[in-house]
Amino acid sequence: MKKFAFIMVLAIFALQSCGAGQQKNNDKSDSAETAAPVQTVAATQSADGGSILLTKNVFLQKVWDYENSPQEWTYKGDKPALIDFYADWCGPCKIASPILEEISHEYAGDIYVYKIDTEKEKELAAVFGIRGIPAFLYIPVGGQPVMMSGIARTKEDTKKMFKDNIDKYLLTSN
């Protein structure tokens, strides 16, 4: 019984992402910390940054046209990008959202921070094989993208994780 309890505690701490099979949370209330402003389907980012919500059409124009070149990754952007695959009902996504909004302002002019709502853009989630959220795609200007999922245990560690990954995967090759 002690072994089972220990395994359960480990599982709770280790799993900081929502599984794809998780039921939608019908509670649509937003807390102050999760209500981060996001640009809606904007083709460009403002000078001071801000997350950009992507639809399939904008994704095909600004990131990768997988319909015309499905076998070859060709990034269409002019600077590196970080894409957040999320859903409104996902607890860890709600924690990551305001952190990514801060990141988008801190790295304004250096990277794009995009968001894809996996409930509305199911095809985009399927293209990348998203099975658990939050998931994050780091896209350098040259080279292949890197997918990661989940967040750290604290908000501070999560922000550090994003900054470390941005520095490692997006800004070192520039």
Half-sphere exposure of 105 (CA within 13 A, CB side): 9
The single-letter code of the amino acid at 149 is S
User: What pLDDT was estimated at residue 25?
Assistant: 40
pTM: 0.77
Catalytic center residues: 90, 93
Q: DSSP 3-state helix, strand, coil percentages of the chain (rounded to 5)?
A: 35, 15, 50
Q: Which long-range contacts (CB under 8 A, 24 or more apart) does 66-70 make?
A: 66/127
Domain boundaries, the chain: 39-171
CATH homologous superfamily of 39-171 equals Glutaredoxin (3.40.30.10)
Query: Would you give per-residue pLDDT tens digits along the chain (174 residues)?
Result: 443 333 333 333 333 456 544 434 434 333 333 334 444 444 445 567 899 999 999 999 999 999 999 999 999 999 999 999 999 999 999 999 999 999 999 999 999 999 999 999 999 999 999 999 999 999 999 999 999 999 999 999 999 999 999 999 999 854
Distances from the Cα of 143 to the Cαs of 46, 135, 139, 157, in angstroms? 26, 19, 8, 27
- Whole-angstrom distance, CA of residue 154 vs CA of residue 174: 30
| The pLDDT of residue 49 | 81
